Amino acid sequence: MSDGAPYPGGTEFGFELLTCRWAERAWPPTDEGDGVPVVARQLGTKRRRWDTIVVEADPEGLAARREFGARALDSDLLHVVRNAPAEWAWYRDALPDPGYPWRYVRAAVHRADARGVVETRRDGNRVQIRRVAPYPDWVNRLVAVENKPDLDASAARALGDQLRHDVDAGLADEVWVATAATGDTVEPALLEDVPVEVGVLTLSFGDRTTAEVAWYPSRLDPPSEGDGAAKRLEIAERAYGSGWRSYVETMRPDCRYFELRREGAALVPWCASKACHQTGAECAGSCPAFEPEPPSWRTRGWPVEGGPGKGISRLLERRRERRR
Ligand code: SF4
């Protein structure tokens, strides 16, 4: 590590990015995994946001999901896409009653058409739809990981209720807490405050991030139908659409001090002004040290596309695309 901390900059943000990168490369940590990992961060429900999400995807289903584009399908679009018929039909005949006014469905049908994820045509006043492809069953399992680099006894106590909620919410197939290895074994007493169903992973950072299982999680039993299953698919879709590198969209790569530094196998944001791995919250429009890239940088080989900041955004987008 560049600063002597057991993880980049000692920030939870840096730890989170390295956890995501490790998961992308090395998931699953046990032999219970079921598919290829699609990794995202900071997703969940209104009530609870998970630090890291791993969607274990069926490889063929994931390949078929590409037919529907790189962006996430929200719940309204999923309703249309999953039920769109193979042959032309009036959308009200083809789609199940949504339980809310049809005019919203009609708006979603038009949105889906504009995104190219269904086809539409008119038959007089009626809008007909047809699917472009069957929406695949691509999500095998959904795994939630809470990142707590400094998992001491008080952190474990503070986390206990949240983790209990994650287990009871019935959305994830598995729940983990990830922490930084300290060289000591994880204290059994500390584990007492973590619900017994939650796995504990310890990550070590060096040239390569590695992980060890300090406690094995239980397999949970999330719903396969109804609202819970729909919610799981929405989360998986958002994970697919955003990936974990989307942090750059809310940071300031257009700042002259914004860099990416290699930490093991991951590229992690670095602020050359503060000489640290900055957090997402501080690297924002309100940062007092922000300075735009000098215009002259934009003419050095980036005449049309913009300066190095744009190059960083494109690099991360290419990596994100490659993972899909
Ligand atoms: S100076 Fe501020 S805006 Fe610029 S890279 Fe550093 S934290 Fe981000």
Cα distance between residue 185 and residue 191, in whole Å: 11
Ligand 1 atom at minimal distance to the Cα of residue 288: 2
Pocket test for ligand 1, best of 11, 251, 256, 257 (most atoms within 8 A of CB): 257
Mean pLDDT on 19-28: 93
Q: Please indicate whether residue 324 or residue 217 has the higher confidence score (pLDDT).
A: 217
Cα distance between residue 269 and residue 260, in whole Å: 4
Query: What pLDDT band is residue 233 in, cutting at 50, 70 and 90?
Result: very high
| Residue nearest atom 6 of ligand 1, based on CA coordinates | 271
- Please tell me the distance between residue 7's alpha carbon and the centre of ligand 1 in angstroms: 20
| Residue nearest atom 5 of ligand 1, based on CA coordinates | 258
Mean pLDDT on 242-249: 87
Nearby residues of 234 by Cβ (< 8 Å), 6 or more positions away: 74, 75, 78
Distances from the Cα of 107 to the Cαs of 83, 131, 165, in angstroms? 15, 16, 35
Mean pLDDT on 255-259: 93
Q: Please indicate whether residue 319 or residue 49 has the higher confidence score (pLDDT).
A: 49
Locate 71 and state its tokens. Answer: 């962006």
**Considering the chain, what is the average pLDDT of its residues?**
88
The rounded percent of the chain whose pLDDT value lies above 90 is 59
Element housing 54 (H / E): strand 49-57
- Please tell me the distance between residue 145's alpha carbon and the centre of ligand 1 in angstroms: 28
Position 303 scores a pLDDT of 43
In CATH terms, 8-62+138-240 corresponds, of 1.10.287, 3.40.1350, 3.30.70, 1.10.3470, to 3.40.1350
Position 272 scores a pLDDT of 94
Q: Please indicate whether residue 7 or residue 70 has the higher confidence score (pLDDT).
A: 70
Position 188 scores a pLDDT of 60
Locate 177 and state its tokens. Answer: 């807490």
Ligand 1 atom at minimal distance to the Cα of residue 272: 6
Position 185 scores a pLDDT of 66
- Please tell me the distance between residue 281's alpha carbon and the centre of ligand 1 in angstroms: 10
Ligand 1 atom at minimal distance to the Cα of residue 257: 5
Mean pLDDT on 267-278: 90
Domain with CATH 3.40.1350 in the chain: 8-62+138-240
Residue 175 has pLDDT above 50, yes or no: yes
- Please tell me the distance between residue 280's alpha carbon and the centre of ligand 1 in angstroms: 10
Q: Any idea which of 25-39, 46-60, 256-270, 304-318 has the lowest mean pLDDT? A: 304-318
- Please tell me the distance between residue 315's alpha carbon and the centre of ligand 1 in angstroms: 19
Angle subtended at Cα 117 by Cα 116 and Cα 122, rounded to the nearest 5 degrees: 70
SS3 per residue for 103-156? HHHHHHHHHHHHHCCEEEEEECCEEEEEECCCCCCCEEEEEEEEECCCCCHHHH
Ligand 1 atom at minimal distance to the Cα of residue 258: 5
Query: What pLDDT band is residue 32 in, cutting at 50, 70 and 90?
Result: confident
In CATH terms, 67-131 corresponds, of 1.10.10, 1.10.150, 1.10.287, 3.90.320, to 1.10.10
Place of tokens 């057991």: 6
- Please tell me the distance between residue 203's alpha carbon and the centre of ligand 1 in angstroms: 28
